[in-house]
Chain A
Amino acid sequence: MTSVPDTDAAGRVLSADGTPLKQSLNRALRRQKLRALALIAPLLIFVLVSFVAPILDMLFRSVENQLISDNLPQTVVILEDWDPNSGELPSEAVFEAFAGDLQIAISKKVHTRIGSRLNYEKPGISSLFRKAGRQVKKWDIPNDGPYKEKFADLNKGFADIEVWRTIKTYSGAYTNGYFLNSIDMQKGADGAEARPENEQIYITLFIRTLIMSLAITSLCILLGYPVAWILANLPSRTANLLMILVLLPFWTSLLVRTSAWKVMLQDQGVVNEVLVWIGLVADDSRLALINNQTGTIIAMTHILLPFMILPLYSVMQTISPTYLRAAKSLGATDWTAFWRVYFPQSIPGIGAGSILVFILSIGYYITPELVGGTKGVFISNRIAFHILSSLNWGLAAALGTILLVVVMALYWAYDKIVGIDNVKLG
């Protein structure tokens, strides 16, 4: 018979030498834990440095706005007392402070950056700052005022109340301006307001991205399910052979595959030629299959299909064919047996595949860029544009953050509805 463990006054179980059992267990496990930590440390550090840190930096950029308050410090302080809705330009003191700030900024060569930053909010300011840069550095401050007139002479843009309103609006160290911009709004005279309709693009893009990703995911389920079924029910020799066909696209360059679709789908492409040849489509009304949403959906479904088939296959492999037999022996028709018995058991595979395909497609960039034309591009193409061309990283970061939040929200919703433990990735 085993002895009952001793306990101390507080009711804690004691080990043989009188120390609390929990404490000696911790001590015994500490070495093991440290060794385990040391083993994963290289990867942990790598992930932190190369993945977590950049993401945090990007998230920070979506609200960061220190460029203006750092480089126009005096101007920003004095501007606080000015009411843009008064209909008058700021006072002479503001202009004088601005001239002083600008001279320092010019000597540090940051005035053009300030200009481009403000240019995102009000086009034209960039050239204003560039021109000022050549003149202002020659000024003798504070002796050759008044600066209100000097600036007005330099460029009449400086006499525009809207320019000063923009400087005042973006004078804080942090701003929600990028996020407002991301959802087609802007900071107006009375706070946030909708942008004019011809400037609204992002909401449409977000919705298009979501709808098209859903369409791609659904198509992948429709096309992938039967394939996975066949793979799972064939003898393993044949299944392995066919599996190579499924994996083959993985071994081909993404660009090659996408370009191949261009060849297939264009006006004079293989598909259209065949359709015209067999007479399904008239020669003068060929199908527009590329450089639009159709093109993006077709190409991306093809590219992402393996990500649906693989988890489906691995889940289906674990479903014993006996279940179907059992259902049939109990009187179910083939369809009922499939729908009531097989399908529910394959849902974890559908879930895993859908999450993979949906999340991959929502952030997809290359394929929509190449085959999407103007109507078939995703939000990620816009993000890429702001990163690479317009250099408005703050806006790109805000768009990216929204995308991240949307994906996480969908993931959360999926967990609530289906349950994340119902997902099997392999």
Chain B
Amino acid sequence: MADSDQGGAFVEFDRVQKSYDGENLVVKDLNLSLPKGEFLTMLGPSGSGKTTCLMMLAGFETATNGDIRLDGQPINNIPPHKRGIGMVFQNYALFPHMTVAENLSFPLEVRKMGKSEREAKVKHVLELVQMGEFGGRRPSQLSGGQQQRIALARALVFEAELVLMDEPLGALDKQLRETMQFEIKRIADDLGITVVYVTHDQTEALTMSDRVAVFEDGRIQQLAPPDELYESPQNSFVAQFIGENNTLEGTVKEIKNGIALVQLDGGGLIDCKPVNVTKAGERTRVSIRPERVEFDKTRLHADAHTLKAEVLEFIYMGDIFRTRLRVAGQDDFIIKSRNAPDQVRLEPGSEIEIGWLAEDCRALDA
């Protein structure tokens, strides 16, 4: 599933496994390699093993089995302080008894750097995160967003080529989080550093990353650029986890010309793109994004299969309309339509017919 060995892999997980108790594997056979300069996000629900992977890379956990390589060198036996990896922690972990400048100067001091050089670097990195005047403050005198910037600056000040971030924006409010997402992305691109970012927020993952690794049950379920991840989920977990998604269950009736005909359990026939199904008779879970559902017959293929639906609820959300339907016996089918001048507002209680392009509807594993 993960990219196989490519030349110039900067960080590499090679068949890595991790168990805490000797009975259960938290990380199962992880293979992952990322080139220099990539922004990779590990996305997954809590307990999926993503943070454990990050901690193994940072050196705070040891891999039970397998190799982790940094720039070609196995780092399993190198203690964290010799790895030279910058890290931003969930709650920032700024040292409360030191000022901002002292916090930033700490990694330089332990590297026995001269005073003038240290001061220059601290000043430079403070400007990079736009916190120039805050050097004399204590972390407790800063707001959450400012602390976040300092934590980032501290991970960058000793010029680490690899920076790890463990849900760094989790404690911020929505607006600040969005600002910081762009800020982090901008700085990472400017400096050309490699970033491994852990989050459970899929929007964050989609916005920031070059590639996203979706974790579940100790495995990478899919490793792909954000658009591919959203539009072509490889299995039903990824489809469910990334973005909003309608799921219908059924059985494959036939596969012909790259299109699978699926008989839904709740009645009705639909056309799908076969992703994880290969032959007739297989159980499948069909996934379709709410914004790809059409209810205007003129915009569908003449011979496309359609389903009958009953409108249950119409929600006005400003930029979009969100309509809940009963489809094939299920009450939770959602469609989204853009709030455009000519857009139809569906009346609850009315009967409509819905359909979609076969390639938008993916027949995944059951």
Q: Which residues of A contact B (CB under 8 A)?
A: 320, 322-323, 325-334, 336-337, 340-341, 344-345
Chain B residue at smallest Cβ distance from A344: B97
- CB-CB under 8 A from B154, the residues of chain A are 330
CB 8 Å contact bits of B52-69 with A (1 = contact, 0 = none)? 000000111000000000
| Interface residue B248 (Cβ < 8 Å from any Cβ of A) | no
| Interface residue B89 (Cβ < 8 Å from any Cβ of A) | yes
Q: Which 8 A-B pairs have the closest CB atoms?
A: A330-B107, A326-B93, A329-B87, A322-B93, A328-B80, A344-B97, A332-B110, A328-B81
CA distance A336 to B106 in the complex (A): 10
- CB-CB under 8 A from A330, the residues of chain B are 81, 86, 106-107, 110, 154-155, 158
B127 CB to closest chain A CB, in angstroms? 20
Contact A331 B107 (CB under 8 A): yes
Query: Contact partner of B93 among A325, A331, A334, A344, CB < 8 A?
Result: A325
| Interface residue B111 (Cβ < 8 Å from any Cβ of A) | yes
Contact A329 B110 (CB under 8 A): no
Contact B106 A340 (CB under 8 A): yes
Contact A332 B93 (CB under 8 A): no
User: In terms of DSSP, what is the predominant structure of the interface of chain A?
Assistant: helix
| Interface residue B79 (Cβ < 8 Å from any Cβ of A) | yes
B153 CB to closest chain A CB, in angstroms? 12
Contact A325 B110 (CB under 8 A): no
| Interface residue B96 (Cβ < 8 Å from any Cβ of A) | yes
Contact A329 B106 (CB under 8 A): no
Contact B84 A331 (CB under 8 A): yes
Query: Contact partner of A332 among B84, B106, B155, CB < 8 A?
Result: B106
| Interface residue B276 (Cβ < 8 Å from any Cβ of A) | no
Contact A322 B91 (CB under 8 A): yes
CA distance A345 to B97 in the complex (A): 7
B338 CB to closest chain A CB, in angstroms? 38
Contact B79 A328 (CB under 8 A): yes
Contact B81 A323 (CB under 8 A): no
B53 CB to closest chain A CB, in angstroms? 15
CA distance A336 to B111 in the complex (A): 11
CA distance A79 to B241 in the complex (A): 103
Contact B91 A325 (CB under 8 A): no
- CB-CB under 8 A from A334, the residues of chain B are 81
A418 CB to closest chain B CB, in angstroms? 13
Contacts A328-B79, A329-B81 given; does A322 touch B96 at CB 8 Å: no
CA distance A345 to B90 in the complex (A): 20
CA distance A320 to B139 in the complex (A): 15
CA distance A377 to B60 in the complex (A): 51
Known: A320-B91, A328-B79, A336-B110. 6 other contacts (CB 8 A): A323-B95, A325-B89, A325-B93, A329-B155, A334-B81, A341-B95
CA distance A330 to B85 in the complex (A): 8
11 A–B contact pairs at CB < 8 A? A320-B91, A320-B93, A322-B91, A328-B80, A328-B81, A329-B58, A330-B86, A332-B81, A332-B107, A333-B81, A345-B96
CA distance A299 to B122 in the complex (A): 51
Chain A residue at smallest Cβ distance from B89: A322
Query: Contact partner of A325 among B60, B95, B96, B111, CB < 8 A?
Result: B60
Contact B79 A331 (CB under 8 A): no
A340 CB to closest chain B CB, in angstroms? 7
- CB-CB under 8 A from B87, the residues of chain A are 325-326, 329
Contact A326 B89 (CB under 8 A): yes
- CB-CB under 8 A from B95, the residues of chain A are 323, 326-327, 341, 345
Contacts A326-B89, A344-B97, A345-B97 given; does A331 touch B158 at CB 8 Å: yes
B109 CB to closest chain A CB, in angstroms? 8
Chain B residue at smallest Cβ distance from A325: B60
CA distance A328 to B79 in the complex (A): 9
Tell me the chain B residues, 83-123 only, with Cβ under 8 Å from chain A.
83-87, 89-91, 93, 95-97, 106-107, 110-111
Query: Contact partner of A331 among B91, B111, B164, CB < 8 A?
Result: B111
CA distance A309 to B345 in the complex (A): 69
Interface hub of B79, B85, B87, B155 (most chain A Cβ within 10 A): B87
- CB-CB under 8 A from B97, the residues of chain A are 344-345
B231 CB to closest chain A CB, in angstroms? 36
B162 CB to closest chain A CB, in angstroms? 11
Contact B80 A325 (CB under 8 A): yes
Contacts A328-B81, A329-B86 given; does A323 touch B93 at CB 8 Å: yes
B342 CB to closest chain A CB, in angstroms? 41
- CB-CB under 8 A from A329, the residues of chain B are 58-59, 80-81, 83, 85-87, 155, 164
- CB-CB under 8 A from A340, the residues of chain B are 106
B198 CB to closest chain A CB, in angstroms? 14
- CB-CB under 8 A from B90, the residues of chain A are 322
B105 CB to closest chain A CB, in angstroms? 10
CB 8 Å contact bits of B242-271 with A (1 = contact, 0 = none)? 000000000000000000000000000000
B168 CB to closest chain A CB, in angstroms? 12
CB 8 Å contact bits of B128-158 with A (1 = contact, 0 = none)? 0000000000000000000000000011001
Contacts A323-B95, A325-B80 given; does A331 touch B89 at CB 8 Å: no
B195 CB to closest chain A CB, in angstroms? 14
Interface hub of A328, A336, A341 (most chain B Cβ within 10 A): A328
- CB-CB under 8 A from A332, the residues of chain B are 81, 106-107, 110
Interface hub of B81, B84, B86, B164 (most chain A Cβ within 10 A): B81
